[in-house]
Amino acid sequence: MKTDREGGVAKTVTRSTCCYCGVGCGVLIESENGRITGIEGDPEHPANFGRLCTKGRSLPATAASVAGRALRPEIRLTREAPREAAEWSHALDHVAARFAKVIERDGPDAVAFYISGQLLTEDYYVFNKLAKGLIRTNNIDTNSRLCMSSAVTAYKKAFGADGPPTCYEDLELARTVLFAGSNMPYAHPVLFRRLEEAKAKDPSIRWIVVDPRRTDVAALADLHLAIEPGTDVALFNGMLHHMIWEGAVDPAFIAAHTNGFEALKALVRGYTPSIAADICGIAEADLLQAAQWFAASPASLSLYCMGLNQSSHGTDKNLALINLHLATGQIGKPGAGPFSLTGQPNAMGGREVGGMATMLAAHRDIGNAEHRAQVEALWGVSGLSARPGLPAVEMFDALAEGKIKAIWIACANPVHSMPDIERVRKALSKAEFVVVQEAFTQTDTVPYADVLLPASSWGEKSGTVTNSERRISRVRAAVEAPGEARPDWWIANEIARRLETRLTGGQARADRPTLFPFASPRDVFDEHRALTVGRDLDIGALSYPRLEADGPQQWPYASDAATGTARRYTDGVFATADGRACFHATAYRGVAEPADARYPFRLLTGRLRDQWHGMSRSGRTGASFNHAPEATLSMRREDAARRGVKDGDLVTVTSRRGRLVLPVETTDDVPSGTVFAAMHWSGQFLASGGINEATIGAVDPDSKQPELKHAAVRVEGAKLPWRLVAAKRGDVLALREAVQPLLAARRYASIRVEGDDLVVVSAADVDADAQWTERLHDALGLARGDELLEYRDARRGRAQRVAWNGELVDGFLVTGDTSPAGALIEQIRTASPWEGPRHAIVLLGGDSPARSLAPRVRVLCNCKQVTQPQIEQAIANGAGLDALKSTLGCGTVCGSCVPEIKRLLTATTPA
Ligand SMILES: Nc1nc2c(c(=O)[nH]1)N[C@H]1C(S)=C(S)[C@@H](COP(=O)(O)OP(=O)(O)OC[C@H]3O[C@@H](n4cnc5c(=O)[nH]c(N)nc54)[C@H](O)[C@@H]3O)O[C@H]1N2
Ligand SMILES: Nc1nc2c(c(=O)[nH]1)N[C@H]1C(S)=C(S)[C@@H](COP(=O)(O)OP(=O)(O)OC[C@H]3O[C@@H](n4cnc5c(=O)[nH]c(N)nc54)[C@H](O)[C@@H]3O)O[C@H]1N2
Ligand code: SF4
Ligand SMILES: [Mo]
């Protein structure tokens, strides 16, 4: 931390890490008088060398206000009662007492923990020790089950240990890059900048993209394999077939360093390129091209993410890809290897401390008696449970069935992010006791909390995280947490101590020290380090002072090592018993729920560029909505036309689990028969809980990861003739909070945020509900009396209210024909005084074609606020990328918009 005084104001700069994705960018947080005022990329951090993406750059704006923060503990004693504020000491005692009661009555496996890859390693460690070491249940799972568990399972099966063999420098050294089920320009933008630079320097670097959708990276690739959803295993098997029969594999590597090749070879015999290409719905020549480039390249790197992991055979998808690397010796050397990109900032740290239902600390296994004995010795306990804990989907099912009675959710929002959320809602309603440990209150899980524990969050807490390349970085507090919020490790530690006293008969255990002696995150880190010694992830050399002095470090970094380890398995010796990597014969299996006559569309889900998961943080700043302002369903233009659906029309998306109404966004980027929805939107923005109303809880048999990417759905035009659009300028968080409780009462309702001070609400239903409309009017705080102009046009079925603030339009509400909405929104957005008599405003926009929803303008460049129409206009006038940058400024700061600008350029420049 460094403090400068400028004009009497103390400006402090704190070195920390971005709290969003697994790239793990180093940041410099600027603060003044206890408030975060700015952010810069840390030029010395080896993940980003000073770069940040749109999400990282907007972090200070998300921390600008305490509105919507969980500020004090709250307790409710019955489900009907509201939660009431409580003292910390009371809340801690209460949770300990309720957990103790359940454990004593129903046994340790009647309680469960659902935690998160966004917790710091120290937080994770304490929770894991609490569950496994004190309570002796393995019912502790995390949102990483929805994210990384297939990658973990495959790494362990293939190499004998978890964790990627690769490092970020490989991004610059790779000559062929295979992106499989990864949309890096959105999900790992700063790493994508590094790839873009490498390719700009050397255009002979080849990019192959495997993704059913034409994403930004697919549009920029040398080869896009737009496979049928879920067919990756067939593709990789077909590629391997070609490599084997064309002699493109590396027999010396296979002989010296692997097992199991013959069985795999026998299996892929049946996957001729023509059969495989057919299953995948791609041209055989493209499959052959991909195989040739991959095998012949001096360095092939594959980058993969949720398109592989989130599948009912995600482990096989990972293994089939790893087979390609092993067969061609594309591993353990610079620029080569299978690189699983971690999603959350500390998905890796969670794996390291073993904070999941299927693992023990430091990459040990629950089912391994020797491993249990090691952890028992290190913790000074006996009788660790050998019963595997319940992974996420089964955990919530067990809660619904009453087998689990109490659950403690920390730093996750399962009522939004789990598949088939109705099942989760039922489970939490059924639970005897629900604890939610949260930093923000505007989430779909918070209403289920019997106890809400306020957590401090990014910028306020301290510890470590591990990024995608196994690099451990410090997270540091720049400011104090607001209200009574406390660090996650502290909350877990305090309750653990109380529970320890209760579970040992109310006696302080004078004969034995507490299992929870931690007074700071540093104490926790030191204990975690001790557990890793001698393991594959040995960090014996690391400590807070070492990280302070030398900066972020990569594991393994044993006490006798001179440095951390950039690349693993460079000597061809793997972490298996005989040191050989294992091939796995991966037969292709389709998706859990194929499309059929009743549910003819394949639903894909994924991410937007500027939003993070349930948007509890990213949704706090208007900037995050510029690129994609509202929830939509992307559908291929021809598919929509065939159904008589136009861009902006409302459709009902129905699966066997649930349904929701969304406006259609027509596109050429999804294949016919497939629709795509972003995962981010929830009941905070929609009448429904978001796309997970429709997804399926089917899981991979090995990794137990659910198939969040694929489900079969029906898409029908929604017959909802009653329409409303309303808008109001004001504090966005407060307006959202006021409107959100009304959303669920209409078939369709959606909150859209425009910039920093405008909220637009669209709704549709079968009939009008006058009372609802008045409640919305009041929730938005629209004027009454003189400052409200009301106009009814029965002939056109339109009612219009315009709220004034002097000469300015401050808000409006239109029902029936909503076509004036666009012009009214523009009037508010531009804040231009209305000239002429007020009543003339009703003529605004009346002639524009009726759209079901308020139209929107996409801002592509957030840093310089440049819209898509502006860029398209400039391109039409002949501007290239450099001219766009110099005249409009777009793409000159964080670079997140550059891939899309390049697409617009190729789309509009004659070939
Ligand atoms: N902006 C943003 N960035 C994030 C996050 C965020 O919320 N917002 N979250 C972070 C987290 S936790 C994660 S896990 C990562 C996720 O990062 P990614 O996995 O890169 O992102 P997704 O959009 O979930 O999915 C990637 C792609 O998988 C494709 N896909 C779907 N089905 C298949 C299939 O069967 N085969 C193949 N090959 N591809 C398929 C989708 O079309 C999609 O383009 O992002 C991280 N970064
Ligand atoms: N359909 C579909 N569903 C998906 C996915 C998909 O691709 N498609 N992706 C899945 C994946 S990969 C993931 S990782 C999950 C993510 O889904 P979730 O696990 O639900 O992730 P978040 O919404 O980020 O929830 C984290 C919560 O922690 C809170 N929080 C933030 N900071 C802190 C803190 O310091 N302490 C505490 N205690 N709380 C804090 C946030 O406000 C937020 O509500 O979603 C999964 N769900
Ligand atoms: S790429 Fe963006 S979201 Fe990810 S860590 Fe870096 S700044 Fe944060
Ligand atoms: Mo994730």
Domain membership of residue 680 (yes or no) is yes
**Mean pLDDT computed over every residue of the chain:** 94
**Ligand 1 pocket, Cβ-based, cut-off 6 angstroms:** 21, 55, 147, 180-183, 186-187, 210-213, 215, 229-230, 232, 305-307, 343-344, 604, 606-607, 609, 611-613, 709
For residue 851, pLDDT over 90 is answered with: no
Is the separation of the CB atoms in 557 and 537 below 8 Å? no
Domain membership of residue 79 (yes or no) is yes
* Pairwise CA distance, residues 841 & 862, whole Å: 31
Band (pLDDT 50/70/90 cuts) for residue 631 is: very high
pLDDT in tens, 394-437: 999 999 999 999 999 999 999 999 999 999 999 999 999 999 99
- Tokens 């292709």 — which residue? 588
Stretch 734-741: mean pLDDT, rounded? 97
pLDDT in tens, 264-293: 999 999 999 999 999 999 999 999 999 999
| C-beta of 24 in contact with ligand 3 (< 6 A) | yes
SS3 31: strand
User: Separation of 893 CA from ligand 3 center, angstroms?
Assistant: 14
Phi, psi of 385 (to 5 degrees): -70, 135
Ligand in nearest proximity to the CA of 617 = 2
User: Separation of 149 CA from ligand 4 center, angstroms?
Assistant: 10
Q: What does DSSP assign to residue 132?
A: I
Listed residues: CB within 5 A of ion ligand 4: 147, 343
Closest approach atom of ligand 2 to CA 458: 35
Band (pLDDT 50/70/90 cuts) for residue 855 is: low
* Pairwise CA distance, residues 313 & 320, whole Å: 11
Among candidates 831, 824, 815, which has minimal Cα distance to 776?
Answer: 815
pLDDT at 858 (0 to 100): 83
**Ligand 2 pocket, Cβ-based, cut-off 6 angstroms:** 116, 118, 143, 146-147, 306, 310, 343-344, 410-413, 416-417, 437-440, 443, 455, 457, 488, 605-606, 613-614, 616-617, 679, 691-692, 695, 708
Tokens of 594: 């194929």
Q: Given CA atoms 526, 532, 534, 540 in this order, what sign does their dihedral have?
A: negative
Same domain, yes or no, for 510 and 632?
no
Same domain, yes or no, for 381 and 482?
yes
Same domain, yes or no, for 752 and 726?
yes
Cβ-based neighbours of 107, under 8 Å, separated by 6 or more: none
Same domain, yes or no, for 323 and 444?
no
| C-beta of 51 in contact with ligand 3 (< 6 A) | no
Closest approach atom of ligand 3 to CA 56: 7
Among candidates 5, 439, 352, which has minimal Cα distance to 144?
Answer: 352
Q: In the chain, how many domains are there?
A: 6
Domain membership of residue 30 (yes or no) is yes
Pairing of strands 711-717, 2-6: unpaired
For residue 557, pLDDT over 80 is answered with: yes
pLDDT at 577 (0 to 100): 96
Helix, strand, coil percentages, rounded to 5, for the chain: 35, 20, 45
Among candidates 824, 742, 827, which has minimal Cα distance to 778?
Answer: 742
For residue 849, pLDDT over 50 is answered with: no
User: Separation of 609 CA from ligand 3 center, angstroms?
Assistant: 11
pLDDT at 650 (0 to 100): 95
Stretch 23-28: mean pLDDT, rounded? 98
User: Separation of 343 CA from ligand 4 center, angstroms?
Assistant: 4
Among candidates 802, 109, 784, 68, which has minimal Cα distance to 483?
Answer: 68
Q: What's the CATH number where 888 sits? A: 1.10.10.1100
Pocket test for ligand 1, best of 118, 183, 634 (most atoms within 8 A of CB): 183
Closest approach atom of ligand 1 to CA 184: 20
User: Separation of 309 CA from ligand 1 center, angstroms?
Assistant: 9
User: Separation of 412 CA from ligand 2 center, angstroms?
Assistant: 5
- Atom 4, ligand 2: which residue's CA is nearest? 417
pLDDT at 818 (0 to 100): 86
List 545's β-bridge partners, or say none. none
Hey, what amino acid is at 246?
E
- Atom 45, ligand 2: which residue's CA is nearest? 417
CB atoms within 10 A of CB 280: 25
Q: Given CA atoms 296, 300, 304, 308 in this order, what sign does their dihedral have?
A: positive
* Pairwise CA distance, residues 134 & 116, whole Å: 20
List 804's β-bridge partners, or say none. 809
Identify the helix (H) or strand (E) that includes residue 245.
helix 232-245
Ligand in nearest proximity to the CA of 143 = 2
Closest approach atom of ligand 1 to CA 612: 7
Which residue, of 505, 529, 553, is where some domain finishes? Answer: 529
Closest approach atom of ligand 2 to CA 461: 35
Same domain, yes or no, for 359 and 501?
yes
Share of the chain above pLDDT 70, in %: 96
Stretch 147-163: mean pLDDT, rounded? 97
- Tokens 């990213």 — which residue? 618
User: Separation of 696 CA from ligand 4 center, angstroms?
Assistant: 17
Stretch 819-833: mean pLDDT, rounded? 88
pLDDT in tens, 243-256: 999 999 999 999 99
Same domain, yes or no, for 713 and 731?
no
Closest approach atom of ligand 1 to CA 229: 35
Find the range with the poorest average confidence among 91-95, 97-101, 548-552, 848-852. Answer: 848-852
pLDDT in tens, 451-484: 999 999 999 999 999 999 999 999 999 999 999 9
Q: What's the CATH number where 829 sits? A: 3.30.390.30
Band (pLDDT 50/70/90 cuts) for residue 850 is: very low
Domain membership of residue 831 (yes or no) is yes
Same domain, yes or no, for 434 and 468?
yes
Domain membership of residue 622 (yes or no) is yes
* Pairwise CA distance, residues 505 & 104, whole Å: 11
pLDDT at 842 (0 to 100): 78
Domain membership of residue 410 (yes or no) is yes
pLDDT in tens, 768-797: 999 999 999 999 999 888 899 998 887 777
For residue 236, pLDDT over 80 is answered with: yes
pLDDT at 859 (0 to 100): 87
* Pairwise CA distance, residues 143 & 418, whole Å: 8
Q: What's the CATH number where 56 sits? A: 3.30.200.210
Band (pLDDT 50/70/90 cuts) for residue 804 is: very high
Cα–Cα distances (Å) from 58 to 62, 478, 556, 621, in that order, read: 7, 16, 33, 7
For residue 836, pLDDT over 90 is answered with: no
Same domain, yes or no, for 667 and 804?
no
Phi, psi of 518 (to 5 degrees): -75, 130
Is the separation of the CB atoms in 139 and 103 below 8 Å? no
Question: Apex CA 639: angle with CA 636 and CA 643, to 5°?
Answer: 140
Q: What's the CATH number where 706 sits? A: 2.40.40.20
pLDDT at 820 (0 to 100): 86
Which residue, of 687, 717, 747, is where some domain finishes? Answer: 717
For residue 5, pLDDT over 80 is answered with: no
Domain membership of residue 593 (yes or no) is no
Which residue, of 685, 717, 749, is where some domain finishes? Answer: 717
Domain membership of residue 418 (yes or no) is yes
Q: Which domain holds residue 198?
A: 149-340
Same domain, yes or no, for 201 and 169?
yes
User: Separation of 784 CA from ligand 4 center, angstroms?
Assistant: 46
For residue 4, pLDDT over 80 is answered with: no
Same domain, yes or no, for 260 and 382?
no
Same domain, yes or no, for 141 and 163?
no
Is the separation of the CB atoms in 24 and 465 below 8 Å? yes
Same domain, yes or no, for 703 and 733?
no
Is the separation of the CB atoms in 636 and 630 below 8 Å? no
Tokens of 555: 């594991």
